[in-house]
Structure 1
């Protein structure tokens, strides 16, 4: 049986799994790389689960992610090529990040973190600007602080 796959990236920051969605060329891989480096710079775990496509399955009320066999441990670096990278074979998705055009982001949203349903599981979600890893990193940092108030800053 083929598991469902979404066009997205997935990574683990500390103990938190993050699924990054967005259209082609919106900076998913670049942002994923930025988040991994930010976590490592703070002495925390920052590890890829999958780049470009992610298998997602519901299990016990949680959403789990894993890489397709064909791209396991590989990340695309636009302008450089495909590189081998350390990866985690499975992660629980704790936050979904949707990369959208900057003009679609509200300056002061009523709720920065919303809930979306993916594969029948409700998951916190945050919109961040496409191709702006500096701004998006800051938004994800604040989202994680809100979702995990007792956890250290992973990024």
Structure 2
């Protein structure tokens, strides 16, 4: 899926697929990346949408044809690090094209309304939104609206 001549960057984050959209979630340790990913997967599956983990905690990221491709390192493929428990198996896709970057930030760094911005990851610009860390309940409708998923479609 990615150019074999390009060495992928190992990045700290979690990535999922929702329908035909890839979502990368980044933030400091303990920011709630896994919790948000699992919440989004569960919410979307309950609505009959394709939704799978790509990788939790670590990703191999590389640009290919102007798009960002993230894939799971073999050692953690199919595992989600459940807070307070242990890595647990979860259905996954080994790689995906990333369409949206969610950056989890402290509440005081969060703007009420955000302009459209992109951030380069592995040399590839990706649209980014900032959401409050450790708050999956408030992040869920923001992500659904951004991806035009019900009830926002």
Q: 1:154, CA displacement in angstroms? A: 9.0
Q: 2:61 aligns with which of 43, 56, 65?
A: 56
Partners of 2:151 and 2:57 in 1: CA distance:
23
Query: Number of residue pairs matched?
Result: 147
Contact 2:8/2:122, CA 8 A, preserved across alignment:
no
Q: Which ranges of 4 or more aligned residues in structure 1 deviate by more than 6 Å?
A: none
Q: 2:35 aligns with which of 19, 30, 52?
A: 30
Give secondary structure in 2 for the equivalent of 1:141: helix
TM-score normalised to the size of structure 2?
0.90
Q: 2:144 aligns with which of 141, 146, 152?
A: 141
Partner of 1:127: 130
Give secondary structure in 2 for the equivalent of 1:70: helix
- Structure 1 spans left out of the alignment, 5+ residues: 146-151
Partner of 2:111: 106
Q: 1:3, CA displacement in angstroms? A: 2.5
Offset from partner CA, 1:87-133 (integer Å, 9 cap, x none): 00110000000000111111233x1x311111221111000010000
